[in-house]
Chain A
Amino acid sequence: MALLPGLVAACISLASPGLSQDRIQVVTTTTDLRSLTEAVGGDRVAAVSLAPANMDAEDYQPRPQDVLRLKNARLMVRVGLDYDLWADRLLAQAGKPEISRGGPGYVDASFAIAVLELRGMSVGPGDGHAHGSGNPHYWLDPKNAEIVTGSILEALARIDPENALRYEANRRAFLERLRARLAEWESKLAPLRAMPMVAFHNRWPYFARRFRLDFIGFIETKPGVPPGPAHLAGIVRTMQVRGARIVVREPQEPQRDVAFVARSAGASVVTLAASVGALPNTDDYIALFDANVAALTLAAGVQ
């Protein structure tokens, strides 16, 4: 019986092509936010991500069509925290106050997130990330999806109030699914607790905090600057002293530098996806964590 309304809706949407154009056009800056927006909006939204999955969204260079996409959009969801600064220029070019900062269709998904590694713009050169406003990779903590989907729900309810209840139900169902999976992921990664690891780039603090992992160092300390020899030698020494056996790399990161460190320290390389779609079988937000958890447990030799 519960299936019936869904089936009817499906038949209607198949029968009338006009309905698909009724869908709310949403632009997100990353694929992760697209997946979360789809989780809340369901079939009422048509979401498109500007930055493709398989590159660093931080370095994305907007295309001419992106302005057009924004002009047609009613909702804009971005990562914030200086991660997708290029979106500011695009929004200015599109010139739509409704989806610009302060407009009803503008969502800065970092709102209300407990930010990690906040170093004021001038607090020392520091290790890791050059972000003055904190580490921006907060979507890698599944718990933060609750806050992000909350912000998206609020905006969708604002621009499409008739369907607010539907969005809320979508979100609740998604979070229920996510919570169940989170418990499973946590138990799978429990044996890796405090197991020392090294990553190429400091993209994993939120992930590490949720799953209680210990990243003891990073190969690339400043984005885009090749690491110096003393730093690399230091990383290798720390790995040997602490017995780190895993080096985390993302598909777009240089293979040779990572392989060099892993070889020198006698560790193995595991390739993780930091964004939805960056690897095969990471087509949505939940699949992203499924794949990463599986890859990590395999590399650590625990099942």
Chain B
Amino acid sequence: MIEPVTFLLPAFLVAVCLVGIHVYFGIEVLTREVIFVDLALAQIAALGATVAFMLGHPPQGPATYGYSLGFTLAAAVLLAFTRGWATRVPQEALIGVIYVVAAAAAILLIDRAPQGAEHLKQILTGNILTSGWNEIAVVVPLYAAVGLLHWLLRRQLARSGILWEFVFYASFGVVVTSSVAIAGVLLVFSFLIVPAAIGVMFASSLPRQLVIGWVTGTVTSAAGLAVSFAFDLPTGAAMVCAFGLALAVAGLLYPFLHGNRNNALRVAIATVRWCAAVLLAGAALQLAVAPRADQPLLDTLETAFPSLRALYFNRSEAVTWAEAGETAERYRIEAERLNDLEMRNRSQGEALDDFSIGRMSSFLKSYGEMRKGEQFVMGEVRARARERIRWGASLTLLVLALLCAPLAWSRLRTGLPRRR
């Protein structure tokens, strides 16, 4: 299993670099309550790049970077001032307005030059998987410089004042502009907020918050990358979901680590039981009211354990179901065989003429239709079987729901005679 490691290593190292700087900024952003400032700054930087593009500069050139930086610095000035205004209107509202207006302005500009749309998309949706040593060579010195600056100015930055606010937003803007191009808006937001939130949750001093954030951020990134490789999922999206899961786990662990453990356990068990009861009761209601509609719970269970169908299909239904399934699969295989044949013929052997190709595509069309027909039969058989058993099955599900619900059965039983 050496190959996945060598394939994912550059992306992992990039993630570690991004986590390193973003956890620090995340903690700052959480204390300043400007959660979405990274989105606004990234969008402003993209607007700057779009303007440069419109003026005829190449997308990756220094001029484009200059325009991005200029726009980001201007936004930093604006953000530094809005800190002072934010007495009656929260600063977050102004950040939102900056984001929306920058996005809309970019759309207006792009309307003039359509190829700019792809360009703008590329600025805002990086792909961490295809990043590598080139990116690391750029971000390591940049982030080290920003980190050093913040460490040297840590006293001044803690104080308020328009100049120090500007320094904060400007350096943050420089960081976000580079990281969004590498990892995309969604993943950068996760890097920024999730590990920092976990750190703030479990520690109160900055060094401990940083360490917790770095460790959870690195571990979560590694887990997200591994899952994305194992199941061949889009890497950025898989990592964002991994970060969401990490925050959920941290939230669940919090009451166990801080506070009354027994109480936390009791609440957790009651919550799980209530969830199960609501799920079962919902499934019972759905089956009773609309037996032909989708049954999310039953469908999931049936997909996981196909033998469940034997519980409620009668003999002829089971036979029809199995036959239709086999026929549908046969049509699929036949269609794939034809497609394969055509594909190989493009470059191998004697070329097929248009007439043969036309015949093939009419066969393919028929196979598709016939397969859909078989699938309709399968759906109909199942819907009828479910209609037949709907009352009994709903009642069973309802009883199960009542059993799962953490109701005080014992009190109910002792309460009855007293009332009599």
Contacts and interface: CB of A to CB of B under 8 A. Distances in A.
A117 B336 contact: no
Contacts of A226: 125, 127, 129, 234-237
A251 interface: yes
Interface of A: 52, 54-55, 63, 114-124, 132, 134, 143, 193-194, 205, 208-209, 212-214, 225-233, 251-257, 259-261
Contacts of A205: 343, 346
A120 B236 CA distance: 31
Classify the secondary structure of B's interface with A. helix
Question: Which 6 A-B residue pairings sit nearest by Cβ, starting from the closest?
Answer: A120-B368, A260-B130, A228-B232, A230-B232, A214-B347, A114-B357
6 contacts: A119-B364, A122-B375, A194-B347, A233-B4, A256-B131, A260-B129
A134 B361 CA distance: 9
Given A116-B361, A208-B346, A228-B232, A123 B332 contact: yes
Given A55-B115, A114-B354, A231 B346 contact: no
B228 interface: yes
A223 to B, nearest CB: 13
A124 B332 contact: yes
Contacts of B236: 226
Given A114-B357, A229-B235, A120 B369 contact: yes
Interface in B319-375: 332, 335-336, 339, 342-343, 345-348, 351, 354-355, 357-358, 360-361, 364-365, 367-369, 371-372, 375
Interface in B228-284: 228-237
Interface residues of B, number: 54
Given A54-B114, A118-B339, A209-B357, 18 more contacts: A114-B361, A119-B368, A120-B372, A122-B372, A123-B367, A194-B347, A205-B346, A209-B342, A214-B348, A226-B129, A228-B231, A229-B7, A252-B115, A252-B118, A253-B118, A255-B122, A256-B122, A256-B130
A55 B114 contact: yes
B127 A54 contact: no
Nearest to A225: B234
Nearest to A122: B372
A129 B4 CA distance: 27
Classify the secondary structure of A's interface with B. loop
Nearest to A250: B118
Contacts of A212: 346-347, 351
Contacts of A55: 114-115, 117-118
Contacts of B126: 256
Interface in B264-318: none
A120 B365 contact: yes
Contacts of A120: 335, 364-365, 367-369, 371-372
Nearest to A212: B347
A224 to B, nearest CB: 10
Contacts of B96: none
A261 B129 CA distance: 11
Nearest to B117: A55
Contact of A122 (B117, B346, B354, B368): B368
Contacts of B332: 123-124
A118 B361 contact: yes
A132 B7 CA distance: 34
Contact of B233 (A213, A228, A259): A228
Nearest to B364: A118
Contacts of A208: 346-347
Interface in B369-407: 369, 371-372, 375
Contacts of A118: 339, 361, 364-365, 368
Nearest to A63: B111
B212 to A, nearest CB: 28
- Residue of B232, B235, B365 with most partner-chain A CB within 10 A: B232
A256 B336 contact: no
A251 B346 contact: no
Nearest to B328: A122
Nearest to A52: B114
Contacts of B229: 228-230, 233
Interface string B162-201: 0000000000000000000000000000000000000000
Given A115-B361, A226-B127, A229-B7, A214 B346 contact: yes
Contacts of B357: 114, 116, 209
A194 B339 CA distance: 18
B350 to A, nearest CB: 11
A228 B235 contact: yes
- Residue of B114, B358, B375 with most partner-chain A CB within 10 A: B114
Contacts of A194: 347-348
A52 B118 CA distance: 13
A251 B118 CA distance: 9
